[in-house]
Chains A and B, each alone.
Chain A
Amino acid sequence: AQSVTQLDSHVSVSEGTPVLLRCNYSSSYSPSLFWYVQHPNKGLQLLLKYTSAATLVKGINGFEAEFKKSETSFHLTKPSAHMSDAAEYFCVPSGGSNYKLTFGKGTLLTVNP
């Protein structure tokens, strides 16, 4: 079974500084992993996905993530935070017979001016 651990429940950065949201996975086989973002009182938006085609995945809004098998990690990064990036971020594995998504508690990103 697949599971992920988001190492930080809350990350706070200043506008213009880099963002790093950490995610480690545990899987007996190569997983499919997604990063979703949820802005306050909004739905869930797919940022990017890893499906074994490429280890460095570029997503929307300048985010990217690198799948590192040796470290079992899929950290989300952005070179320069913007105020609009303030939201909750979820690293989500997909698996099982119906490819359902299993959400963890997420990481709340706050961006300070």
Chain B
Amino acid sequence: EPEVTQTPSHQVTQMGQEVILRCVPISNHLYFYWYRQILGQKVEFLVSFYNNEISEKSEIFDDQFSVERPDGSNFTLKIRSTKLEDSAMYFCASRNEWSTNYGYTFGSGTRLTVV
């Protein structure tokens, strides 16, 4: 069964450093998302991406965050200058139709630890 692949599974970074979280969505999917889950808290929507541009972003997704689809397969989330509060599990997801008939497929997540 097709999977969404995220790398790395765990990343530790120093405060103020830039990090790039990588995702390979399912190949025929067109809509891509990032969510995050701070330990012990709810899963939160960050951003949706379609047709090479952001279609919606949450208040969390400030100027420190950016997303990119640099080629036909990867979808990345960049945090320019990490803060302690960015420590969380980050999930990438994709879907294949602009429809509510299909659930998302989530990756297994990247645990980001900012020290």
Bitwise interface map of B from 91 to 104 toward A, beta carbon under 8 Å scored 1, else 0 = 10101001111111
What are the residues of chain A within 8 A of B98 when measuring CB–CB?
99
Contact, CB under 8 Å: B101 / A44: no
A55 interfacial by beta-carbon distance below 8 Å: no
Q: Which of A43, A45, A46 has the most CB of B within 10 A?
A: A43
Binds B, one of A11-19, A65-73, A79-87, A101-109: A101-109
Bitwise interface map of A from 85 to 113 toward B, beta carbon under 8 Å scored 1, else 0 = 00000100011111111111110000000
Q: Which of A44, A53, A98, A102 contacts B56 (CB 8 A)?
A: A98
Contact, CB under 8 Å: A42 / B108: yes
Binds A, one of B43-51, B67-75, B78-86: B43-51
Known contacts A44-B43, A103-B42: A98-B104 contact under CB 8 Å: no
Interface of B (DSSP majority class) = strand
Contact, CB under 8 Å: B103 / A46: yes
Size band of the interface chain A makes with B? 20 to 34
A and B contact pairs by CB, cutoff 8 A, 23 listed:
A34-B103, A36-B103, A43-B91, A43-B107, A44-B43, A44-B93, A44-B106, A45-B106, A46-B103, A46-B106, A49-B101, A49-B102, A98-B50, A99-B95, A99-B98, A100-B33, A100-B45, A100-B48, A101-B43, A101-B45, A101-B104, A103-B44, A105-B42
Name 18 extra pairs, CB < 8 A, besides A94-B100, A103-B35. A34-B103, A36-B106, A43-B106, A44-B106, A46-B103, A46-B105, A94-B103, A96-B56, A97-B56, A99-B99, A100-B33, A101-B35, A101-B43, A101-B45, A102-B45, A103-B42, A104-B42, A106-B42
Q: Which residues of B contact A (CB under 8 A)?
A: 31, 33, 35, 42-45, 48, 50, 55-56, 91, 93, 95, 98-109
